[in-house]
Structure formats: C-alpha cells, structure tokens
C-alpha cells in the first residue's frame, strides 16, 4: 500500500491492541491504511527561501490512484514558467518521471537524478513520489513531540529501488497516525525535514494546507500553500499520459 506523505492526510483509528506492543512497521501500516481519496485536484503556491531571496511559483497538481497500489501524478506550473512533471509510481521498483522544460523539450528523469532539487527548491524529485511501505524496513526508535503533538518516531530504510537517503524518520501522531514531520538523512548527516501545518479535515480526510521543507542547517526552506483542493473528482486517464506534457 502507498501513502503520499506531502499531499494526503489520514483519519482517526482506534488501537486494536496496546500501543506499547506496536512495532515500527505496524505503526506505518496503520498510517498507510487510513482512507485516501481516489483522485486529487489542487492548486499550490510554492515559495523558495534562499538567504534573503524569495522566489514564488504556482502550479496545479493532479493525482489518480490505480490498481496494484500504483498511482499517477502531474504537476503543471502556471507561473513563472510552463514546466510540467509527470510521475508514474510503481510498487517494488523505481518510479518513472518525465519533465517538460520551458523550451518544450521532454526528458526522462534518470534514477540517478532522483536526489536532485526540483525547480531549484528544497524538494528532490524523490520527494514527489509515493511511499510504498513494503519497499522499506521500519523500526520504532522512540517517541517525541512534533508539531505540538505526542508522536512515535519510526525510522525507515529503503530496501528496493534507487536509494536517495540513508534513512528517514517519520513522526507519526499517536492520536490518529497522521504523519506530521519527516526527517531526511543523507551521507550520514541530518539533511532536511518536512513539517505539515494547518491540518484540516476535508471530505473526511486530514489535509495539511501548508507544508515546509527546511534545511537542517537553517539556511533555506521551501513552503507549499494549498489554495485550491478537490477530492474524488473524475479525472480522465489521458491527463497522465506522456502526451499530456506537450
């Protein structure tokens, strides 16, 4: 099963057994099992902070779930350029990604490039893919307070496909198994972290309306603001074909 840690939230569950007996995998399984929309339509404002400079961009996002725990997503920039990114997420193997440049040229994102910044932001191409929990080994490493709430800290190490990060740490809210923060480690160092803000329930789904990817050294961040959102609308399959990039 997949969950989309940046754009899709989750509903409250009741423990099936004592919380102290939960393993890291069981915690992530509960998070993954929470209701998710079949489709997502949204408009996002992106603000990239580097030093004193702030660059603002805007894009639309379409996501559609498919059988076999796969999904497809397309990001289409409205301003300042007409860049598009198409992602086909797969179970048990690397995702496929294609980028349409401002010039109109389309290029495939190689697996070796998944650790590169997307449109000069603090998000990598890897961060824009779904997370399949069966592709990771999980371990409960402790508890902590994150975003003002008691959380489980679960370490995840990718075991299949291209490995961009050494490991990641998910902060899973105890009350409802919603992931409120993710720490990213690369080359043995704490690189950056993602935090979810302004979490609201939309059509029964907990949804963060502001996400912030921050460098661990405090020298930059990228904020995403959801300014338009609709779940479970009908989206034609042709919106997710390579031809849609043209």
Task: Give the rounded distance of the alpha carbon of 245 from its chain centre.
Answer: 21
Beta strands in 80-219 (DSSP E): 84-89, 96-100, 106-108, 131-132, 136-146, 149-158, 167-173, 179-186, 189-202, 205-215
**How confident is the model over 182-204, as a mean pLDDT?**
96
pLDDT of residue 191: 98
Instruction: Report percent pLDDT > 70 for the chain.
Output: 92
Say if CB 31 and CB 219 are below 8 A apart: no
pLDDT in tens, 21-30: 799 999 999 9
Q: Identify which of 159, 165, 76, 70 has the alpha carbon closest to the alpha carbon of residue 114.
A: 165
pLDDT of residue 218: 96
pLDDT in tens, 46-72: 999 999 999 999 999 999 999 887 899
pLDDT of residue 35: 83
| Residue 153 pLDDT greater than 50, yes or no | yes
Whole-prediction pTM value? 0.89
67, with CB counted inside 10 A (0-12, 13-18, 19+), is exposed
Instruction: Report percent pLDDT > 90 for the chain.
Output: 78
pLDDT of residue 163: 85
pLDDT of residue 7: 43
pLDDT of residue 224: 98
H or E, element range at 24: helix 24-33
H or E, element range at 223: strand 220-231
Please give the mean pLDDT across all residues of the chain: 90
| Residue 5 pLDDT greater than 50, yes or no | no
Evaluate the CA torsion angle 151, 28, 115, 196 in order and state its sign.
Answer: negative
Q: Give CA angle at 179 (177, 181), nearest 5°.
A: 145
Task: Give the rounded distance of the alpha carbon of 3 from its chain centre.
Answer: 8
- Range among 16-25, 121-130, 155-164, 191-200 with highest mean pLDDT value: 191-200
Task: Give the rounded distance of the alpha carbon of 1 from its chain centre.
Answer: 14
Which tokens sit at 69? 């725990």
pLDDT of residue 73: 97
Task: Give the rounded distance of the alpha carbon of 136 from its chain centre.
Answer: 15
Which of 2-16, 126-140, 144-158, 176-190 has the least mean pLDDT?
2-16
pLDDT in tens, 63-119: 999 988 789 999 999 999 999 999 999 887 888 999 999 999 999 999 889 999 999
| Residue 17 pLDDT greater than 80, yes or no | no
**How confident is the model over 140-152, as a mean pLDDT?**
97
pLDDT of residue 3: 44
The DSSP code for 150 is E
Q: Identify which of 226, 158, 155, 142 has the alpha carbon closest to the alpha carbon of residue 190.
A: 155
């Amino acid at each position: 099963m997949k969950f989309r840690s940046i754009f899709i939230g989750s509903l409250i569950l009741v423990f099936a057994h004592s919380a102290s007996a939960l393993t890291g995998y069981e915690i992530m399984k509960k998070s993954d099992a929470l209701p998710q929309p079949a489709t997502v339509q949204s408009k996002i404002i992106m603000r990239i902070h580097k030093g004193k400079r702030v660059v603002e961009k805007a894009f639309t996002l379409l996501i559609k779930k498919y059988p076999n725990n796969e999904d497809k997503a397309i990001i289409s920039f409205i301003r300042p350029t007409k860049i598009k990114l198409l992602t086909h997420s797969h179970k048990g193997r690397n995702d496929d990604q294609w980028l349409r440049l401002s010039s109109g040229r389309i290029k495939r994102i190689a697996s070796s490039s998944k650790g590169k910044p997307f449109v000069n932001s603090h998000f990598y191409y890897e961060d824009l893919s779904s997370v399949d929990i069966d592709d990771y080994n999980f371990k409960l490493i402790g508890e902590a307070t994150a975003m003002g709430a008691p959380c489980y800290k679960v370490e995840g190490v990718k075991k299949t496909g291209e490995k961009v990060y050494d490991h990641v740490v998910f902060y899973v809210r105890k009350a409802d198994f919603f992931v409120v923060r993710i720490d990213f480690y690369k080359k043995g160092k704490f690189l950056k972290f993602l935090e979810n803000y302004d979490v609201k329930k939309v059509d029964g789904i907990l949804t963060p309306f502001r996400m912030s990817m921050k460098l661990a050294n405090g020298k930059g961040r990228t904020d995403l603001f959801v300014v338009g959102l609709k779940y479970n609308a009908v989206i034609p399959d042709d919106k997710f074909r390579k031809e849609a990039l043209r």
